[in-house]
Structure 1
């Protein structure tokens, strides 16, 4: 991260929400970690305690874990704990469909536990978490419920969302990609790119480019789920008060973390945003984004040069 943008992040402050923190921390905002408060939500009490005691590293400015599930109401629900804990969900899994893709054992039901749930808007207010900029969400089919419990956060605060989306119903009544995409677009978010794609094969649990035994050692699989990056559309945001200007600054910072430099520049180019950065913090975000984009060109050329030298050496 450019030193000027990092200083900008430290001055304006960033908060990243990790909804479904099982297994470890999302590091997408790693370039600005030292200026970012990380807040993880994990309803499985055992896993939440493990995360709290493990120490996550990464140089975050502040770390907090909240042992609650997020939904669109206040209350409780039954959480199905499956043998592969990362597949645990409020929704009942279709084990028969899992078997089609050599993953039926993932969905053996070990236990059902009752967990407390709250609306994200309410939890943030209760915990005193202000102006979160980014959300990573991986909650095994509850994404739309979480978004519906966060209308204020989506409308007023967030600038970026990394969400898991599914293309095949591994759970009963599971919302798929089209429904999730439609929901976040309501608040001005636009899809930027796929961050992960997961394809499942029918004859093996191996990934597409791993060779399997038998008559079909190689095959592309079926697209089952993926992670998509959504960012706010800069031109859709108002610039009539300081909170709106700060939100655009955060959009520029998050977009820069993902190397979407033209999107970052569009955010900083909105009326009064560049002026705010220059007047309050003596930082010109235009020049900082330009430096980052140009540095990528230099890095790419260096990598290409090293690859060429390696090939020349190996084939000389």
Structure 2
């Protein structure tokens, strides 16, 4: 799960949601497709639920019932609908392998070689359920979901390429942001790897902007509390953006709404420099750019005292339990690793 840069309170206090461009999304909400919606939309979108009209895909009937009962009526979303079924490259049926840890369930069988090698937990098969498959392009064309799929989140444990193949038209005509889990070794049978997804999305006109919440695995022959070593990349959430500023003509023929939806995605995902860059390139009228930049700075500001407090808390924990010093330090690094690097910032001394 992607580590949010800020929460709902911070977004409200920044004043971003009070600006005219943001208020307009309350009248015409952003279409968010959530594929693999178990437990509800990602936390990053919960910072501003009122600007999202969510179409959630969930093939497990029990989970679909929970989503409709617990999230649909009172989640604060501009809209929330559940599509009962799975997505694929076309129309058909699939075998949903329901595993002991529900969010590990997949349309692909588990690759026991890798789950055994790395001692994965929660991958025990409980039952197999036959589920209907449809292409996202067909669902949106036939069911008339308006502006759906401006932002797409996919977390399906190995079926990513098949879903993307069934969404070619949607990717070309609607989507400006795709967040897709990618794997670096096949812990499901026949699982596409990160390189396959990146190649597909690059061909579709998207740029890989980041690998967030990267998870590593090892065989744990060395105790992490006492030894330092590197581990193998396992999986991450890949962020793909249709960035018009990658091209010399800038926004060019990009519609204002598309640019502003991309700006929303950039803000919620933490790519704040990109949000400012889009605003200056014409995504916002000139008169709105300064208030927008001020709000972004309020949102992103970090008080030095808060950083000192974090460091002092870490130091206190290390002093209290020296044997856990490496683990406590690593946990702080884990919390911060998805944010900006500072190797290009000269030291003051």
Short-chain TM bin: 0.7 to 0.9
For 1:99 and 1:310, locate their aligned partners in 2 and report how far apart those are by CA, in whole Å. Answer: 37
Map of 1:253-264 to 2, 5 A cutoff?
A: 253-264=264-275
Name 2:155's counterpart in structure 1: 138
Q: CA deviation at 1:14?
A: 0.8
Q: TM-score, normalised by structure 1?
A: 0.82
Change (3 A) 1:11 1:291: farther
Q: CA deviation at 1:193?
A: 2.1
1:301 paired with 2:292, answer: no
Kindly indicate whether the alpha-carbon contact (under 8 Å) linking 1:102 and 1:203 is maintained by their aligned counterparts in 2. no
1:33 paired with 2:79, answer: no
The gaps in structure 2 that reach 5 residues or longer are: 1-10, 320-349
Q: CA deviation at 1:153?
A: 1.3
Name 2:284's counterpart in structure 1: 274
Name 1:128's counterpart in structure 2: 144
Which digits, 9 at most, give the CA deviation of each residue in 1:144-199, with x for residues without a partner?
11111111211111111111000011122211000001111122221222221112
1:79 paired with 2:96, answer: yes
Map of 1:174-253 to 2, 5 A cutoff?
A: 174-203=191-220, 220-235=230-245, 236=247, 239-240=252-253, 244-253=255-264
Q: CA deviation at 1:10?
A: 2.3
Change (3 A) 1:287 1:253: farther
1:167 paired with 2:189, answer: no
Which one is further off, 170-179 or 31-40?
A: 31-40
Kindly indicate whether the alpha-carbon contact (under 8 Å) linking 2:40 and 2:71 is maintained by their aligned counterparts in 1. no
Kindly indicate whether the alpha-carbon contact (under 8 Å) linking 2:26 and 2:78 is maintained by their aligned counterparts in 1. no
SS of residue matched to 2:66: helix
Change (3 A) 1:124 1:218: same
For 1:307 and 1:69, locate their aligned partners in 2 and report how far apart those are by CA, in whole Å. Answer: 43
Which one is further off, 256-265 or 174-183?
A: 256-265
For 2:195 and 2:70, locate their aligned partners in 1 and report how far apart those are by CA, in whole Å. Answer: 37
For 1:86 and 1:162, locate their aligned partners in 2 and report how far apart those are by CA, in whole Å. Answer: 17
Q: CA deviation at 1:296?
A: 4.5
* Count of matched residue pairs: 297
Q: 1:65 aligns with which of 76, 79, 82?
A: 82
SS of residue matched to 2:284: helix
1:111 paired with 2:114, answer: no
For 1:90 and 1:135, locate their aligned partners in 2 and report how far apart those are by CA, in whole Å. Answer: 19
Name 2:3's counterpart in structure 1: none
Name 2:105's counterpart in structure 1: 88
Alignment RMSD (CA, Å): 3.1
Name 2:330's counterpart in structure 1: none
Which digits, 9 at most, give the CA deviation of each residue in 1:272-296, with x for residues without a partner?
x434xx7xxxx71x22441133214
Q: TM-score, normalised by structure 2?
A: 0.75
The gaps in structure 1 that reach 5 residues or longer are: none
Kindly indicate whether the alpha-carbon contact (under 8 Å) linking 1:234 and 1:266 is maintained by their aligned counterparts in 2. no
